[in-house]
Each structure stands twice: as C-alpha cells, then as structure tokens.
Structure 1
Amino acid sequence: MSKKLLTGSFQLMKSLNRSVILTIIREKGPISRAEIAKVTRLTPPTVSNLVKELLQTGIVIEQSLGESSGGRKPTMLTLNSSMFHVIGLDVGSHHLKAALTNINGKIIRKEIIPIPAGVTKEALLTLMADSINHIKQEAGVIEEHIIGIGVAMHGIVDVDKGRSVFAPNLQLQDIPIKEYLEDHFQMLVKIENDARAMSLGEQWFGNGAGVDSLVCINVGRGVGAGMIINGKLFHGQNFISGEIGHMVIDINGPKCTCGNYGCLQTFTSGPAIAEKAISELKLGQQSLLAEGDLAKISSESIYEAAVAGDAFSRNILAQAGRYLGIGVTNLIHIVNPKRIIIGGGVSAAGSFLLDSLKETIKQRALTTPAKETEIVLSKFGEDASVMGAVALILAELFSTRSN
C-alpha cells in the first residue's frame, strides 16, 4: 500500500478516538463538545483537540449555536456531508452499478454499465476502474474528498485479501480487486460478497437499523444471504456463509450452475422464474405472456403481467415465493434472526412474492415466534448491494462505541 494511502486524511480520521467522536457526531449531531465529552467519557481537552483536527480535515463543521443551560451558548458540531464522498460498486453477472454518495449515504450519481459476455479478469478490472473514473468526472468531485471505494461482488469473496475467489455467473476466479483498485486510485478499497454488503447497507441506512440479529437475502440472477449476528457480519470459516442459493430444496429438481440439482436458486432466481413460465406456456397455459415472443419473457415481464391481472403470472410468482419460503424457513431454524430483509431485482415483485413466502413460513416454522419472524422488503430494492458497498467504507471510518 502506498505512503499516500497510509498518510491521507482517512487515516487521520480513522484513529480510534477520532472515529468514536465522528460516530457520535453522525448519530447525535448537531452536538456540542461538552456533550461529546459526556457521551464518550473523554476529557474535555481531549475532545477539544480531536475536534480541532477534525475541523481542519473539513469532515466536521461548526453550526449555529445551541441552547444554553446558563452562560455562553455552545457551538454545535455536525458532519460536513456535502464535502466528502464514497464510491460504491455492485458487480453482478450482466451489469456493473456504480454509485457516488455523500458520507450520509445519499446517492448523488448512479450509473449502470453492461458487462460484456465472456469478460476476462483483466477486462473486468479495467471496466471497474473506468466506471470509477467516469462517475468521478461526471459528478465533478475532488479526488482527495473521496473517502474510499467499496465493492459488492457476487460469488465467493476473500474479504481479508480483497479478492474475488469465484464469480460463478461470470465464470471467473481469483480476481485481485482490492490490489488493482488501490494501486490505481491510491485510496482505501474494501470488497465484500454482494449479499453480505447488502445486509451491512440495510443495517446502516435501511430496514435493518437498530437490529443486531439480521439476515438479508439478495434475490436476483442468483440467491445469496448476508447474516449479521450480534451486530457483526458473519463470514464463516472459508467465506461461504450465506450461500443459500445452493441449499438443495428438491434433489430431483433442475440442474444448477454449481453442478448440483434442485438448489434454491433454480426455483427462485430471476432466470429460473422466467424459465418456469416459458416451459409452462409451451405446454399451452393461457396468459397475457403467450401473446408475445416467449424467448423475451423475463421476471420483469412476468411481474408486469401480474400487475395487469394475469392469473398465470401471479401463480408463477407465488410459486417462487413458496420455494423461497422453504429456504427462509430453513434459515430461521438455523440462525433464528429477529428480522429478514428481501432485496435484489426479484424483490420488486413485492406482495406477489412475499404473500406466499410468509404463508409458507407460517405453515412450516417450528414455533409461534419463529412463524412470526419479521419479513420485510429492502429499503433500496435493486440498489441494496451498491448501498452495502458504500457502507463498507463508512463502517471503516465510523467506529461503534462498543468496539
């Protein structure tokens, strides 16, 4: 890692006490120095010195005076959210999504770039770098004001080494994402599996806020889960925790891309839903979808037909919801989380999918509390993973007081 990376403003802000103060300002701001000292139990002179340094970086600014309890009114501190930025990438099987946000997680600019068929490792890394350069230029942000780059990557990710071990939908292995992007941009890069990144994003900005026992399920072209246990992301021994898309639901089911038969994603992923609809329409089922080119049917067009009242399409989505409900019930029995969040492209089907999913859990879960496990949709839908990529960097910057 370069000297510039080690000595930049990020490292100044990341030291433990500064990070704790930043977290307090983020959570409770506008807030006075005296109140920060009370909450953190740091001495007032220590708080004053650290705040002075944070003011110099520009990440903290002074705001209008607060209410006084007697004597001079205190100066209030708040984050300078408009000055510093984070770039998040969500690398899927067909598209790369890039987002530039402020440090409160507000998306300022978002772009979607197609990933060419048969892309090589080198070409994918170049595409990622090009997308970062383009979104920086289009947004007109100063590079020194970008805190870091987060990457949500589908498949197996070695978080410690920052490498994509296996991206099954691209059929690529051992991609040195962290090393390449840090060398290229000279700033912090964090990489995580897309579903785990999604769970972190929901915990930071979305429907997982304040919940320390949480599972997020990303249902798109594949199916994966991110688990937060006792407030921490759970990775497993070899970084394959959450690969629920390869949980076998029916040993006589369709063949999966992993080589096994009857995996959950062969029933519930976007392509699987489309394939099921096409095969039944070829057998003569009546549907609005039968009026068009069967080869062009997608999970999106099935949803649109369901909204238009097409009973066949509604049944196809409900069937996918039942299979997903079986997988989620198994997950409840293993992890027993407080809340489960459903995101990814297929989650756009909303109640057409969720109603049968919830009904399946009620039928199959062991106990009454398990049957009543909270099931909600992601706050961000298809943007859930890219928001998770942003959260990877903010989690590095903002320390929690329990750490």
Structure 2
Amino acid sequence: MRQGTFKWMKSMNKSIILNKIRKDGPISRAQIARETNLTPPTVSSNVKELIEEKIVEESDIGQSQGGRKPTMLVINNQAFSIIGVDAGPENIECIVADLAGNVLKRSKTKLQLPITNQEFIAALKSSIKKVLETDKQVVGIGVAMHGVVEVETGTSLYAPNLGLSNIPIKQQLEQAFGLEVKVENDARAMALGEYWFGDHGELESMLAVNIGSGVGAGLIIEGKLYHGASDIAGEIGHMTIDLHGETCECGNRGCLQTFVTGPAIARKAPGNHLLTAENVFEQAISGNEECAAILKASGRAMGVGLTNLIHIVNPEKIVLGGGVSKAEKFILPAIRETIRTSALTPAASQTTVEVSKLGDDATLIGAITLLLVDIFEVK
C-alpha cells in the first residue's frame, strides 16, 4: 500500500464495513451483512479487498450457530501507523501510534521563542522527522494547533500564544513528507480523541474543554466534530464572565480565560509573582489555604462558563483536560457545585463533568484521530 491517504481505496460500503469491524469486531461477514443491510456478496467482495489492503484480518473462528463456524474479522491495528503532533505554544510533541491509538514512539522539542512562521514550520518538520523512522506504513499526519485554524486548507489563521498568523501548515508538511496532513484546533482535536478513546461509552453529544495557557473546547454532536460557520466554534476562553473584569489579551474584559488558565492562576498567587500555576497547586496540596482558595475560585468561574454552555448546547458529558485539570481536587468540586446551583433545570444540573483519563496525551491522541476519522467514518 502506498503512503498517504486511504481516500483512494475507500467507498461508502467499505466505510460502513470498516467502521462496523472497528466498533464490533471480532465480527463475521454474515453478521456485518445482517446489521448493515448490505448484501452478503457486497460484504464478501469488500472484505476481500480490505484484507488484501491489510487493514482487516481474519481472526479466531467464531461460534457455530448450527452450521459451519464463521471466520471472524478484526481491524489489523498494527499494520499502519499515524503521526500525531501537538504544536506549541511552548513545545512541539509528536507521537507515532497504531490504528488503535497505542503510542509506539514519541519526541518532544522545546520551541525557541519568539519565533517566525518559517522557524515554526522548520521546527514542525524537524520534530516529525524524529519519529518518522518506522517499519510500518504511515497513513498520514494529524496536527493539533492552538488558536484559530482554517480546517479546509490546514492553515493556522491566528496562534495568539505564539504571536503568529497565516501559517500554511498542511501545505508545507504535505510538500515535505508526501503524506496526507490534517490540521485542527487543539481543543477540538482533543474532543475527537476523547470521543474515540476516552472510554465514555455511546454518547450523542460531548463537550471537551482544554484548560492550560488558554481555554478552548471541542463539541461533538451526533458523533461529529462541530466547527461552526467559520471554524471558531469552541473558543470559550473568550466568553465574557465579568463585564468589569480584568482585560484579556483579546482586548475584551472579563473573559473566562482571565480566571481559569495557568497564567491567570499564577497572577493571583500570593506575594511571589515568580510562582507558576503548578506551584500554586503544590502549595494548596501542602495546606496553603490561600492557594487552595485561588484554585476553588477558578473552579467556580469555570462552573459559570460551563453552565452557560450547558444552557446553549446541553451536552451529555463534559470532559476536562489540559494542565489546569490536574488540580481537579480543588477545581472539580467547585465546578460541579456551581453547575448544580446555577443550571436551569435539575436534569441540566446533573450533567456529568469529569477529568480526562487520557491525561497529557489527550491532544496527541486527538491529533491521530483526525486521520482515523478519514479512514473509518462514513462521509
């Protein structure tokens, strides 16, 4: 199989069959036909091609239902690999993962700031080259980028934490590596990774919130990532919480991210302005009540923002990720209590809010999922 994309070998029927095997495998050809309403010959011919492409393989013999034991089908997760990139704002992290999301190799490169567009692209290419050596064929590269991303062209329109704009990430990386490249906002990529690999069960809707040096969110509706009319859906960090609050870097007052990000927490630290949000958390754990109060206040502000979002989109579940989410001991109870007392209805107040189980890899796993959607989902 050639490197690049699976688009050239896919059809609607193949997509249906692949996704069925991914979700329900090991599964027989007969069961696929029954549960997808495809004819047995259609299933057989497409499965034959998928086996030849090595993305599907035959597994253990299934149980007999009165006749010959059926041969079961599974995804050959180890046959191909995907490169995932979490691009900035302080480091570029890369992983190589298989089709099941298992990480096979990783690298981390610290960015030298300030940085130009050309230097940032060069750093991306260098980081990817560190993990590209693999004995598996590479499906493509997924890039999770903070800020505003034009998804169709794979362009970073505005990366505020780097002070950059109009970075042609997709075009430059495809030219350099000859692979399919998908570029997405980091919080939306994280949401997709959570939906696929976060062990959340069958959900129709989910909101994933990334709280770190900024605040972003990704919304899944009916299993699909929602982008909005101009690719800015999820920029919840700039939701106004206090009309008379601190001035945000965007120029508005009282944005959510002036309350809950790592830098915002650090600014509120008592006395020593050299403290980081991590230091505030460590001191809170050690019994510093003032530091604990800062984190709880951030949790209440986050709870206000999430209550607003519950009232607008009413997701089944909210998942929190990013560095600040590690302070869940202090922020999570405050978030839940704020939602409980502020939500419009008892049902809304019971919206599940939890911290990601994917941890520091949540965004990277989301980056590889950008390619998995291309392979498995029915368009």
TM class, shorter-chain normalised? over 0.9
Give the equivalent residue in structure 2 for 1:222: 214
Residue 141 (1) aligns with residue 120 (2): no
Residue 164 (1) aligns with residue 162 (2): no
Give the equivalent residue in structure 2 for 1:346: 324
Displacement of 1:205: 0.8
Give the equivalent residue in structure 1 for 2:347: 369
Distance 1:358 1:202 in 2: 20
Identity of aligned residues (%): 48
1:247 to 220, 239, 242: 239
| Letter aligned with residue 224 of structure 1 | G
Summarize the alignment of residues 229-308 of structure 1 with structure 2, pairs less than 5 Å apart: 229-277=221-269, 281-282=270-271, 294-308=272-286
SS at match of 1:350: helix
- Residues 319-338 of structure 1, C-alpha deviations (whole Å, 9 max, x = no match): 11011111111111211211
Equivalent residue pairs, number: 378
Decide whether the 8 Å contact of 1:96 with 1:112 is kept in 2.
Answer: yes
2:83 to 67, 81, 87: 87
Give the equivalent residue in structure 2 for 1:16: 12
CA separation of 1:210 and 1:106: change in aligned 2, threshold 3 A = same
Displacement of 1:230: 2.8
Decide whether the 8 Å contact of 1:14 with 1:396 is kept in 2.
Answer: no
- Residues 75-101 of structure 1, C-alpha deviations (whole Å, 9 max, x = no match): 211111112111111113111121211
CA separation of 1:96 and 1:327: change in aligned 2, threshold 3 A = same
Decide whether the 8 Å contact of 1:268 with 1:320 is kept in 2.
Answer: yes
1:199 to 182, 191, 205: 191
- Residues 335-371 of structure 1, C-alpha deviations (whole Å, 9 max, x = no match): 1211111111110111211011111112222211121
Q: Which has the higher helix share?
A: 1
- Give structure 2 stretches of 5+ with no counterpart: none
- Residues 23-75 of structure 1, C-alpha deviations (whole Å, 9 max, x = no match): 11111111122222222222222222211111111111112222122333222
Displacement of 1:306: 2.0
Give the equivalent residue in structure 1 for 2:35: 39
Provide TM-score, normalisation by structure 2.
Answer: 0.95
- Give structure 1 stretches of 5+ with no counterpart: 283-293
Displacement of 1:261: 2.0
> What is the root-mean-square deviation of aligned Cα atoms in Å?
1.7
CA separation of 1:79 and 1:231: change in aligned 2, threshold 3 A = closer
Give the equivalent residue in structure 1 for 2:176: 184
| Letter aligned with residue 206 of structure 1 | G
Residue 313 (1) aligns with residue 291 (2): yes
- Residues 157-179 of structure 1, C-alpha deviations (whole Å, 9 max, x = no match): 11111111100101111111111
Displacement of 1:386: 1.4
| Letter aligned with residue 366 of structure 2 | G
Decide whether the 8 Å contact of 1:202 with 1:209 is kept in 2.
Answer: no
Displacement of 1:196: 1.0
- Residues 98-148 of structure 1, C-alpha deviations (whole Å, 9 max, x = no match): 1211101112223222121111111111111111111122xx333xx1111
Provide TM-score, normalisation by structure 1.
Answer: 0.90
